[in-house]
Amino acid sequence: MVGKREYDGGLIKLHEVPAILPEQLWRQVCEKLGPRYTRIGRREGRPLANLAMCGLCGRTLIGDTDKGTPVYVCQKRPAQPGACGGITVVAARLEARVNEEIVSFLKDRRRVEGLLQQQGLTGPELDAIDARYAELEDNKIALEEAAFYPPAGIKRLPRERYWKLRTEIECEQNDLRRRRAVDRELDPLKAALKQTWSEARWQEKPMHWRRAIIQLVTERIEVHRPTVVARRGRVGAQFDPDRVKIKLAA
């Protein structure tokens, strides 16, 4: 429909195959006509749930409420029975601290490009992977023709030889898929390069997208106990930003 071959979530342009539909329209049609799936299992309701970590025991924090106020807490649960329970932080304050660091990182185009170069594949490398995968697909077709539909007067490829060669082709294709899948995880960061960032723009993005960026951009987010001593005459708790330690990936 779009003059491309689809494999493992990616599209490869086919040589001399004209498109019937524009790609964007084709994707919209696929989305409308495709099957609907019900998500099973836990769905994160907070952008830093199970990403931020307790600075005391190293377990991940989860979302909770404290007298109606959303918080992140270190809490024992089946997935983390060793959680110490020693850290609680107001969600809005932790998220604001992390958002500030992430937006600052995204504004620095050189750092973003450096991270992409460090973790991803370059354009020529991706083109080479796609071209090799397409070549292997053609080899599989030729192999099947040699084994099952040989030209008149040509002996069929022996079954043992056919399966040996097909296994070798599929092993190489699986390796190419894995390399391509790792690179696709960087797609949100590649898209971020094309935008001008502010905290308001960041907040407009869907939470699952923000979580993906946070995982790509940070190596570790730790929340420690506060160290600021309360000032005389001050009413209410004061947030200590230094209790949040953020290690960026680049």
91 within some domain? yes
If you write DSSP's letter for every residue of 164-212 in order, what string do you get? HHHHHHHHHHHHHHHHHHHHHTTHHHHHHTTS---HHHHHHS-HHHHHH
81 within some domain? yes
Sign of CA dihedral 199, 201, 207, 209: negative
Q: Which domain holds residue 19?
A: 4-33
Helix residue ranges per DSSP H, the chain: 23-33, 91-107, 109-119, 123-148, 159-184, 187-192, 199-204, 207-217
Regarding whether 133 and 102 lie in a shared domain, the answer is no
Distance CA 236, CA 132 (A): 63
pLDDT at 62: 93
Q: How many domains does the chain have?
A: 3
Residue after which a domain boundary falls, among 144, 161, 182: 182
120 within some domain? no
Regarding whether 107 and 58 lie in a shared domain, the answer is yes
Task: Name the CA radius of gyration of the chain, rounded.
Answer: 25
The more confident residue out of 157 and 2 is 157
pLDDT at 41: 42
137 within some domain? yes
Regarding whether 214 and 163 lie in a shared domain, the answer is no
Question: What percent of the chain shows pLDDT beyond 70?
Answer: 86
Contact call for residues 211 and 51 (beta carbons, < 8 A): yes
Distance CA 23, CA 167 (A): 33
Regarding whether 154 and 195 lie in a shared domain, the answer is no
Contact call for residues 12 and 134 (beta carbons, < 8 A): yes
Regarding whether 104 and 70 lie in a shared domain, the answer is yes
219 within some domain? yes
195 within some domain? yes
121 within some domain? no
Q: What is the pLDDT of residues 210-239, one digit of tens each?
A: 999 999 999 999 999 987 554 554 444 577
Mean pLDDT, range 32-56, rounded to an integer? 72
For residue 23, give the 3-state DSSP assignment. Answer: helix
pLDDT at 101: 95
Residue with tokens 């002996």: 155
Contact call for residues 56 and 225 (beta carbons, < 8 A): yes
10 within some domain? yes
Taking the model in full, what pTM does it have? 0.62
